[in-house]
Amino acid sequence: MSAPLPGQTPPEIIRNFCIIAHIDHGKSTLADRMLQLTGVVDERSARAQYLDRMDIERERGITIKSQAVRMPWTVPAGNDEGAEPGTYVLNMIDTPGHVDFTYEVSRSLEACEAAILLVDAAQGIEAQTLANLYLAMGADLHIIPVLNKIDLPGANPDKYAAELAGLVGCDPSEVLRVSAKTGLGVPGLLNEIVKQTPPPVGAADKPARALIFDSVYDTYRGVITYVRVVDGKLTHRDRIKMMSTGATHELLELGVISPEQVKAGEIGVGEVGYLITGVKDVRQSRVGDTVTTQHHGATEPLGGYKHPNPMVYAGLYPIDGDRFGDLREALEKLELNDAALTYEPETSGALGFGFRCGFLGLLHMEITRDRLEREFGLDLISTAPNVVYDVVMEDGSEVEVTNPSEFPEGKIAEVREPVVRATILSPADYIGTIMELCQTKRGTLLGMDYLSEDRVEMRYTLPMGEIVFDFFDQLKSRTKGYASLDYERSGEQAADLVKVDILLQGEPVDAFSAIVHREAAYSYGVMMASKLKELIPRQQFEVPIQAAIGARVIARENIRAIRKDVLAKCYGGDITRKRKLLEKQKEGKKRMKMVGRVEVPQEAFVAALSTTQPAEKSKK
């Protein structure tokens, strides 16, 4: 039986599913194996991790952008799984795995009817497994629990099958066991997908409604929009309308991915495909939005559209001040592909001209910075990241603070900070140390459950500002890397927060200002003052370094004076040598920034800021 064509595929034979997993549990490997087994990618052209297209993703081994692939699959008669024989169309939707992209994950889930919950048989359930499972359950998906990597000598499938069964509420014998690497059990899994996934339901005769679950900028083709058709159909002759903005576009092309773009005349109920309209910016084709036709279009959008709001801000400055224009151009290019990135020019007395950038989270920030440096050859300094604060003044007015320098001076009634609901999974041995850490980070324990004898799930409310600082690193180092963390935004709380300024010879250095809890202000001040004392070379006069809250100094260090006379050793009259030394000194000065009268080497800023910044690695 040949595979049905797009637009002519009855919903009864369509199965839309996704794979959800903690980072590194083998999602991409399993996806590759499925592409191979269904014949979509042949053995020869199969390159590892077909779905992770961007280089940077491959290098970091993480999935940032989701993709969808259409795979024909023929269930043989007499299969062990008891699935109805026949040819089916499986649409596999690859979801991003990291906390920063939770909203994108939730939209990809909406496009599916089932989720494969993939768990490493040597590691067991991790925080992201849980977070994604809750999202999938929230989207009413059928859950297919699967243990991966059963080929590993360290695998403990019996133990983790019990854990997984307890979590999703099934019998341990119903937990499938596969090796994505060797392919063992994967054909059986494909049959199970056919058997267990409910076929899509939608009204073929209603106006078209399709959910955008991804939108990617392509240099050659403009924006490629991935959609799942819910009702009606989209044909290549339609003019389409984005329901959140009302903007209409000509449809230049539509089709399905299998595994490259395959043009089609139309796509109908339950199908997953791509649209090209010639728009040049992903902001015009936003994830979560509903696509309909301009004529006889739908009036009610599908639910759940959310505008992405940045949660973390940081200043990015070119180390070489002359490259400000290049940085602007690079950000303009990145913006085409990243609807969540925001930026505005800003000036820092210490760092010069740069941009205040908003990100969804720390990983998003790291990836953006990485791309700016790698793809655009820029060298950047970034200020310590901060979250968004709401400051309520005594006169009732409110100020939104995305940069410590905007923290108001006058009479403040209340400062409100964002908080997150964090889920931490860890071996039970570390409960004590995790509690201690969460306490110092102003966390409130919400609850704790044992997943098995020796693994525990702890739920906390924590200020997002603390998470952004160094929480993740500390959690990892205190638990020898065993704990995993996931979090989602859960509102705001009032907190006793203050702005700490760092002054050199009485001049505040804006790049070092930070908003911290009053109790942590002193230690931040002492840390920065002593660090700067090490980093700033002695000058010809004494330089006091002070940390202050408003006019009140809370910490102080002194850099003693020195008279650095480069000619001191040049007694005798060798004029060329003297000139050379003076030239050299001038070169060195170029890399200095002046703060008042104080010369601060560029490296001092880089070093001081990089250590106050969380060194979160993207993995785990």
Ligand X SMILES: Nc1nc2c(ncn2[C@@H]2O[C@H](COP(=O)(O)OP(=O)(O)OP(=O)(O)O)[C@@H](O)[C@H]2O)c(=O)[nH]1
The residues of the shown chain that bind ligand X, judged by CB under 6 A, are 21, 23-29, 61-63, 97, 148-149, 151-152, 179-181
Q: Which is nearer to ligand X, 25 or 364 (CB)?
A: 25
CB of 131 to ligand X, least distance (A): 13
The Cα 48–Cα 41 span in angstroms is 11
Minimum distance, C-beta of residue 110 to ligand X, in the bound complex (Å): 20
HSE of 564, CA atoms in CB hemisphere, 13 A: 12
Instruction: Select 50 or 317, whichever has its Cβ closest to ligand X.
Output: 50
> Strands across the sheet with 142-148, in order?
68-75, 86-94, 14-21, 114-120, 142-148, 176-177
Contact 196, 175 (CB under 8 A): no
431 has binding-site annotation: no
Residue with smaller CB distance to ligand X, 119 or 141 = 119
Residue 69 Ramachandran class (φ > 0 left, ψ -120 to 50 alpha, else beta): beta
28 is in an annotated binding site: yes
Which residue in this structure is represented by tokens 């008279």?
563
Minimal distance, residue 126 CB to ligand X, in Å: 11
Minimum Å gap between C-beta 127 and ligand X is 13
Which CB sits closer to ligand X, 95 or 368?
A: 95
150 SS3 class: coil
Query: Residue 287 Cβ, how far from ligand X at the closest point, in Å?
Result: 19
Nearer to ligand X, 152 or 606 (CB): 152
Cα 152 to Cα 161, 165, 181, distances in angstroms = 15, 21, 10
| Residues 6 or more apart whose Cβ sits within 8 Å of residue 354 | 315, 316, 317, 318, 324, 327, 345, 346, 347, 348, 381
Q: Are strands 444-452 and 389-393 parallel, antiparallel or unpaired?
A: unpaired
How far is it, in rounded angstroms, from Cα 536 to Cα 172?
A: 62
Counting beta carbons within 10 angstroms of the beta carbon of residue 146, is it exposed (0 to 12), middle (13 to 18) or buried (19 or more)? buried
- Report whether 29 belongs to an annotated binding site: yes
Q: Is 25 marked within a binding site?
A: yes
The answer on whether 480 is annotated among ligand-binding residues is: no
Nearest distance from C-beta of residue 427 to ligand X, angstroms: 21
Q: Which lies closer to ligand X via its Cβ, residue 151 or residue 281?
A: 151
State whether residue 389 is helix, strand or coil. Answer: strand
- Residue 300 neighbours by CB under 8 Å, 6+ apart: none
Q: Judged by CB, which is closer to ligand X: 48, or 575? A: 48
Contact 449, 460 (CB under 8 A): no
Exposed, middle or buried by CB within 10 Å (0-12, 13-18, 19+), for 411? exposed
Beta carbon nearer to ligand X, 25 or 209: 25
Work out how close the CB of 465 gets to ligand X at its nearest, in angstroms, rounded to a whole number: 27
Find out whether 569 is annotated in a ligand binding site.
no
- Are the beta carbons of 414 and 494 closer than 8 angstroms? yes
CB 168 within 8 A of CB 142: no
Q: Are strands 543-549 and 514-517 parallel, antiparallel or unpaired?
A: unpaired
Per the rule left: phi > 0, alpha: psi between -120 and 50, beta: everything else, 271 is beta
| Minimum CB distance to ligand X smaller for 24 or for 557 | 24
| Euclidean distance between CA atoms 266 and 238, whole angstroms | 10
How near is the Cβ of 420 to ligand X at its closest, in Å? 21
Q: Is residue 116 annotated as involved in ligand binding?
A: no
CB of 26 to ligand X, least distance (A): 3
Closer of 27 and 323 to ligand X (Cβ)? 27
Encoding tokens for residue 586? Answer: 């001038």
Between residues 185 and 463, which has the closer beta carbon with respect to ligand X? 185
| CB distance 101 to 487 below 8 Å | no
Q: Is 319 exposed, middle or buried (0-12, 13-18, 19+ CB in 10 A)?
A: middle
Q: Does 27 show up as a binding residue in the annotation?
A: yes
**By the 8 A CB rule, do 224 and 215 touch?**
yes
Between 180 and 339, whose beta carbon lies closer to ligand X?
A: 180
In angstroms, give the least distance from the CB of 412 to ligand X.
43
Cis peptide before 259, with omega less than 30 degrees from 0? yes
26 is in an annotated binding site: yes
Q: How far is the CB of 433 from ligand X (least distance, A)?
A: 27
Distance in Å, CB of 117 to ligand X, minimum: 12
Q: What is the torsion angle, in degrees rounded to the nearest 10, for the CA atoms of residue 224, residue 226, residue 232 and residue 237?
A: 10
Quick one: tokens of 142? 């059928």
Record the tokens describing residue 228, joined without a space.
Answer: 């799942």
Cα(511)–Cα(504) distance, rounded to whole angstroms? 12
Q: Is 490 annotated among the ligand-binding residues?
A: no
Residue ranges of the annotated binding site are: 24-29, 148-151
Known binding positions for GTP: 24-29, 148-151
